[in-house]
A and B are shown apart, each in its own frame.
Chain A
Amino acid sequence: MAGPDRVVAVRGRPAVIRYVVRRLLLAVPTLAGIVVLVFCLLHLAPGSPVSALGAESGRRVSGRAAIEMRRLYGLDRPLPERFGKWISRVVRLDLGESFVDRRPVGERIREALPYTLTLNGLALFLTLAIAIPLGVEAGGRPESVFDRISGAALFALYSTPSFWAALLLQTLFSVKLRWLPLYGVSSDPEAAGMPGLLDRLAHLALPVVCLTYGSLAFYARLVRAGVAEARSADYVLAARARGLSRREALWKHAFRNALLPLITLLGLVLPGLLSGSVIIERIFAWPGLGRLYFDSILSRDYPVVLALSLIGAVATLAVTLAADIAYAVADPRVRDGTGP
């Protein structure tokens, strides 16, 4: 088995490299297109950092102060000049300074990133930990009572709006039962060591649940479909014939095949880990990227919005590129351009 495989790999390598180079070169104009589009959309949208001031206090800025501020932010310059300035800084990996607090944009993003990654990472992990067993079990016996009940329950959860669920969970677990903290990332004053860790986990509980329950249906039904299709395939029947238990046949053989589309999907979901959920982060006062992005759009903090859009675009491009390359390595028809 190994011999012919190796031959194919060695012969395939130049083709793969050519393909990767081609895809990389294609990614450059795509990225440039995204950057120009986001820059133009943002700067041509109505409103400005000056008119956005006072969203909380309802105060407006007088004429002269407004003119001075526009000059200070460089908003009196023509759009191509502003774009040139911004892009020349970006290529030197300088994301600029926030209009709101004048700190480097990179610093603001670095502060918020760990919170969003923790929250979204845990939620994704929990989603998979629940959705995969549910999906395999339901797919193993399609149309069974378990399949129908779990399906109905998952769709009910899927259609429950998260802001509403968040407020209900807060009322129950934080206000009535007092088991979990209402909002924030840690208590004040912050505890150290084990109690501190437990405190942080307690603060994570409700937002993680809110981010998890809605996406369960999505993954569980995907796994279920794959397993249901594979369970009657010859190799699963053969495994059963070899004396494997139903469970072993399902997990080791049917599920493994159902895993492939799941991995593809996860690849596309990963850049989303960076984006954060605006609604959940606002309700739980979570200092993450979702809130930073949202607040920055409202205050027309152009440098922050551009930086976050750029990071999202690069992450998405990188993941799709990686997926394309992985396909090309796995499937010669893709790299040869004769693909299915």
Chain B
Amino acid sequence: MKKPGRLVLLVCLAAACRVNEAPKPPAVVRTAPAAAPTAIPEPVLGYIDESNKGLPADGGLIRRRLIGEPGTLNAVLQSGLPEQQVLQYLSRNLLDFDSRMNLVAGLAERYEVTPGGREVRLTLRADAVWEDGSPVTSRDAVFTIRRIVDPAVPSPLFKPVFETLASVEATGPRSFVAKFREPDAAHAMAFVLPLLPEKRYAGKNFLKARENRAPVSDGPYRFVSWKAQDSLVLERNPRYFGPRPHFDRVVFRILPENSVAYQAVLTGDLDETSIDESLKQQAARDPEYGRCCRAVEYYNLDYSYIALNSRAPFFSDARVRRAVTMLLDRGSIVRNLYRGSARIISGPWAPDSPAYDASISPLPFDPAGAAKLLDEAGWKDTNGNGTRDRAGREFEFELLVSAGSNIGRQIDEMLSAELARVGVKARVRPLEWASFVERIDGGNFEAASLAWSASDPNPDPFPYWHSSQWPPRGLNSGYYGNPEADRLMEEARREMKEEARVRIYHRLHAIFRDDAPAVFVTNASAKYAFRREIGGLVTSPLGFSGIWPGPIGWWRSGGAPR
């Protein structure tokens, strides 16, 4: 077994992370200059960086959309996307990702991972202050991290990354050290973490403090107001230590319906919204949209897959799992369901993840080959009823899908039709989200259509595919287990050298393709509609909100600020 590398990662980062100095992402595709008013814009694929393009105008406000009401504005308690979108403006993280997915300085001006990967030492910036003027200290950091690991505090977003934390102690007014029980090359990523002001929470019930709905800012904006189920308003924080952001105010409107949000961008009630494939098609046909708006489209790290439960009698055999993969026509999914804006994947990562080995080709769509594999595995139609069987058991299973996922359902129907042709019955069963997740997390399913959503670029497959993570303990819901894969996953966590770790992931990738613990389907593009006036967009595999400065670097070009 390979010893963990004795490499000291000592990264000193430039103290000032300028809003307009984001490094260029790979494969930069610059957007075309503002097209003639009547032209229907072409969707931009690939990554865009407009941070140095055009003339930034200061002032005015931006109207952004939230898909739902945030449950809290306490950074530790946050659980969903709306909270993350708002908090990005209010709370700087200790560390951030740039658009190339590198860790860069935030509230912490430097960090250091000790040899063996068990300790992370961070030093805070001297000029970081809360909006009341008091400095951001290591006491705040220690307080925040101790709240996260407190069993009486629900912190679904951060608990997993601090699961093996042994201790966190201040070593000076601006420095602290976090020690972990297990080595992990990715421990530093846990510190993409906003802080809470210890003093303001002293003597209060952490779960119910007033600050949870009117947070104290150390970021570029500060909180102004929150109307339940309607809107949130932020304004520029004059005490912010970093460069002055462009907008005076940020208004978030809470708007649950996608089609209405799209219309709101047309009328200028909103400056941006995410859209789905059908709205993208609608936009392409609408000349009015072309005059006021543009589509922004890029690939992130999310992907879809169909989990196959190894505990189901059919899917314990890798040949059967491979056969199911070979019966899903992923080329047709890309062409017909996504109109070209998706990529077929052959393992549990998106193609832009460093772990993804592009040389590992996906299993082909091959119904004849799949039928042969099923025969080999002993699933044959012995009783002549049209359905394959083995030892008296018919090959019939339930394929679960979240009721909210239209594309997931279409993919399942395609698979079910193809399975029927080779004598396997799959019943597609849509379930409401909470019931669906309960079945998945409990490992109580035969097959299920899932989407994997990345919150950071850490490609570690351990929580999802290691045999120690079977339900109810972890998220390996399909009970996948392969001793060789287990060993490699453990090794990758301990390997501190980036290149060597990527090589391990590539070996794992080949195993996952052949073992087919799931049908890996596609990595589809994320799609947004933007008002043409909004400039300074930078996209990345982590989306807008997953990188710094992300939306904080945007501005409204041309014309008076509203």
**A residues with CB within 8 A of B:** 45-48, 51-66, 68-69, 71-72, 97, 100-103, 108, 111-112, 167, 170-171, 174-175, 178, 181-185, 188, 282-285, 287-288, 291-292, 295, 298-300
Asked whether A58 lies within 8 Å of B453 as measured between CB atoms, the reply is yes
Shortest CB distance B431–A (Å): 8
Shortest CB distance A6–B (Å): 53
Is B281 an interface residue, CB under 8 A from the partner? no
Q: Compute how far the CA of A54 lies from the CA of B67 in the bound complex, rounded to whole angstroms.
A: 12
Asked whether A60 lies within 8 Å of B440 as measured between CB atoms, the reply is yes
Q: Compute how far the CA of A174 lies from the CA of B269 in the bound complex, rounded to whole angstroms.
A: 10
How many inter-chain contacts with C-beta < 8 Å in the A-B complex? 169
* One of A108, A282, A284, A298 near B434 (C-beta < 8 A): A298
* One of A102, A175, A287, A291 near B207 (C-beta < 8 A): A102
User: In the complex, given contacts A184-B253, A287-B228, what are 15 additional A-B residue pairs having Cβ atoms less than 8 angstroms apart?
Assistant: A52-B433, A55-B80, A55-B404, A56-B68, A57-B81, A64-B473, A65-B159, A66-B472, A103-B213, A170-B263, A183-B269, A188-B253, A282-B257, A285-B253, A287-B227
Q: Compute how far the CA of A249 lies from the CA of B334 in the bound complex, rounded to whole angstroms.
A: 70
**Residue of B at shortest CB range from A66?**
B441
**Residue of B at shortest CB range from A104?**
B208
Q: Compute how far the CA of A188 lies from the CA of B434 in the bound complex, rounded to whole angstroms.
A: 35
Given A175-B263, A282-B257, verify A101-B213 contact (CB < 8 Å).
yes
Is B553 an interface residue, CB under 8 A from the partner? no
Asked whether A182 lies within 8 Å of B260 as measured between CB atoms, the reply is yes
Shortest CB distance A207–B (Å): 12
Asked whether A102 lies within 8 Å of B472 as measured between CB atoms, the reply is no
Given A60-B441, A69-B156, verify A282-B256 contact (CB < 8 Å).
yes
Shortest CB distance A167–B (Å): 6
Asked whether B260 lies within 8 Å of A59 as measured between CB atoms, the reply is no
Given A63-B475, A287-B229, verify A72-B453 contact (CB < 8 Å).
no
Q: How many residues of B contact A (CB 8 A)?
A: 68
Asked whether B267 lies within 8 Å of A175 as measured between CB atoms, the reply is yes
Contacts of B404 in A (CB 8 A): 55
Given A47-B435, A57-B80, A101-B72, verify A65-B228 contact (CB < 8 Å).
no
Contacts of B229 in A (CB 8 A): 112, 285, 287-288, 291-292
Contacts of A63 in B (CB 8 A): 469, 471-475
Q: Compute how far the CA of A78 lies from the CA of B438 in the bound complex, rounded to whole angstroms.
A: 19
Asked whether B212 lies within 8 Å of A102 as measured between CB atoms, the reply is yes
Q: Compute how far the CA of A185 lies from the CA of B255 in the bound complex, rounded to whole angstroms.
A: 12
Contacts of A68 in B (CB 8 A): 151-152, 154, 159
Contacts of A100 in B (CB 8 A): 71
Contacts of B474 in A (CB 8 A): 62-63
- Report B246-263 residues with CB < 8 Å from chain A CB: 251, 253-257, 259-260, 263
Contacts of A167 in B (CB 8 A): 259-260
Asked whether B437 lies within 8 Å of A51 as measured between CB atoms, the reply is yes
- Report B430-450 residues with CB < 8 Å from chain A CB: 431-441
Q: Compute how far the CA of A174 lies from the CA of B259 in the bound complex, rounded to whole angstroms.
A: 13
Interface string of B152-180 (1 = CB under 8 A from A): 10111101100100000000000000000
Q: Compute how far the CA of A51 lies from the CA of B471 in the bound complex, rounded to whole angstroms.
A: 14
Given A175-B263, A175-B266, verify A64-B159 contact (CB < 8 Å).
yes
- Name 10 interchain pairs, CB-CB below 8 A, sorted by A: A51-B437, A53-B79, A63-B475, A65-B154, A66-B441, A101-B71, A174-B263, A175-B266, A182-B267, A287-B228
**B residues with CB within 8 A of A:** 63, 67-69, 71-72, 79-82, 84, 151-152, 154-157, 159-160, 163, 207-208, 212-213, 227-231, 233, 251, 253-257, 259-260, 263-264, 266-267, 269, 288, 302, 404, 431-441, 451-453, 455, 463, 469, 471-475
Contacts of B163 in A (CB 8 A): 62, 64
**Residue of A at shortest CB range from B451?**
A58
Contacts of A285 in B (CB 8 A): 229-230, 253-257, 260
Q: Compute how far the CA of A167 lies from the CA of B260 in the bound complex, rounded to whole angstroms.
A: 8
Q: Compute how far the CA of A167 lies from the CA of B433 in the bound complex, rounded to whole angstroms.
A: 26
Q: Compute how far the CA of A102 lies from the CA of B72 in the bound complex, rounded to whole angstroms.
A: 9
Contacts of A51 in B (CB 8 A): 434-435, 437-438, 441
Given A58-B453, A101-B213, A102-B208, verify A111-B228 contact (CB < 8 Å).
yes
Contacts of B472 in A (CB 8 A): 63, 66
**Residue of B at shortest CB range from A171?**
B263
Q: Compute how far the CA of A246 lies from the CA of B435 in the bound complex, rounded to whole angstroms.
A: 61
Asked whether A54 lies within 8 Å of B79 as measured between CB atoms, the reply is yes
Contacts of B257 in A (CB 8 A): 282-283, 285
Q: Compute how far the CA of A81 lies from the CA of B71 in the bound complex, rounded to whole angstroms.
A: 27
**Residue of A at shortest CB range from B69?**
A295
Asked whether B256 lies within 8 Å of A72 as measured between CB atoms, the reply is no
Asked whether B156 lies within 8 Å of A61 as measured between CB atoms, the reply is yes
**Residue of B at shortest CB range from A53?**
B79
Among B152, B159, B266, B434, the one with the most A-chain Cβ atoms within 10 Å of its Cβ is B434
Contacts of A48 in B (CB 8 A): 434, 438
Shortest CB distance A169–B (Å): 11
Asked whether B475 lies within 8 Å of A60 as measured between CB atoms, the reply is yes
Asked whether B81 lies within 8 Å of A47 as measured between CB atoms, the reply is no
Q: Compute how far the CA of A103 lies from the CA of B213 in the bound complex, rounded to whole angstroms.
A: 10
Q: Compute how far the CA of A97 lies from the CA of B288 in the bound complex, rounded to whole angstroms.
A: 46
* One of B81, B269, B473 near A56 (C-beta < 8 A): B81
Contacts of A182 in B (CB 8 A): 260, 263-264, 267, 269
Q: Compute how far the CA of A282 lies from the CA of B261 in the bound complex, rounded to whole angstroms.
A: 11
Asked whether A188 lies within 8 Å of B251 as measured between CB atoms, the reply is yes
Contacts of B264 in A (CB 8 A): 182-183
Contacts of A46 in B (CB 8 A): 431, 434-435, 438-439
Asked whether A62 lies within 8 Å of B475 as measured between CB atoms, the reply is yes
**Residue of A at shortest CB range from B208?**
A102
Shortest CB distance B147–A (Å): 13
Contacts of A291 in B (CB 8 A): 229, 256
Contacts of B63 in A (CB 8 A): 188
**Residue of A at shortest CB range from B435?**
A46
Given A51-B434, A178-B267, A287-B227, verify A56-B72 contact (CB < 8 Å).
no
Q: Compute how far the CA of A170 lies from the CA of B269 in the bound complex, rounded to whole angstroms.
A: 13
**Residue of A at shortest CB range from B161?**
A62
What 8 pairs across the A-B complex have the smallest Cβ distances?
Answer: A47-B434, A287-B229, A46-B435, A52-B434, A51-B437, A58-B453, A65-B159, A51-B438
Shortest CB distance A297–B (Å): 9
**Residue of A at shortest CB range from B65?**
A285
Asked whether B80 lies within 8 Å of A62 as measured between CB atoms, the reply is no
Q: Compute how far the CA of A321 lies from the CA of B233 in the bound complex, rounded to whole angstroms.
A: 46
Shortest CB distance B445–A (Å): 12
Asked whether A57 lies within 8 Å of B213 as measured between CB atoms, the reply is no
Contacts of B212 in A (CB 8 A): 101-102
Q: Compute how far the CA of A185 lies from the CA of B263 in the bound complex, rounded to whole angstroms.
A: 17
Contacts of B441 in A (CB 8 A): 51, 60-61, 66
Q: Compute how far the CA of A232 lies from the CA of B256 in the bound complex, rounded to whole angstroms.
A: 53
**Residue of B at shortest CB range from A291?**
B229
Asked whether A57 lies within 8 Å of B453 as measured between CB atoms, the reply is yes
Q: Compute how far the CA of A54 lies from the CA of B441 in the bound complex, rounded to whole angstroms.
A: 13
Q: Compute how far the CA of A72 lies from the CA of B207 in the bound complex, rounded to whole angstroms.
A: 11
Given A101-B72, A101-B213, verify A65-B260 contact (CB < 8 Å).
no
Contacts of B157 in A (CB 8 A): 59
Q: Compute how far the CA of A246 lies from the CA of B475 in the bound complex, rounded to whole angstroms.
A: 76
Q: Compute how far the CA of A47 lies from the CA of B269 in the bound complex, rounded to whole angstroms.
A: 36
Shortest CB distance A66–B (Å): 7
Among A65, A108, A111, the one with the most B-chain Cβ atoms within 10 Å of its Cβ is A65
Shortest CB distance A45–B (Å): 7
Asked whether B69 lies within 8 Å of A59 as measured between CB atoms, the reply is no
Asked whether B438 lies within 8 Å of A62 as measured between CB atoms, the reply is no
Asked whether B154 lies within 8 Å of A69 as measured between CB atoms, the reply is yes
Contacts of B266 in A (CB 8 A): 175
Q: Compute how far the CA of A183 lies from the CA of B453 in the bound complex, rounded to whole angstroms.
A: 30
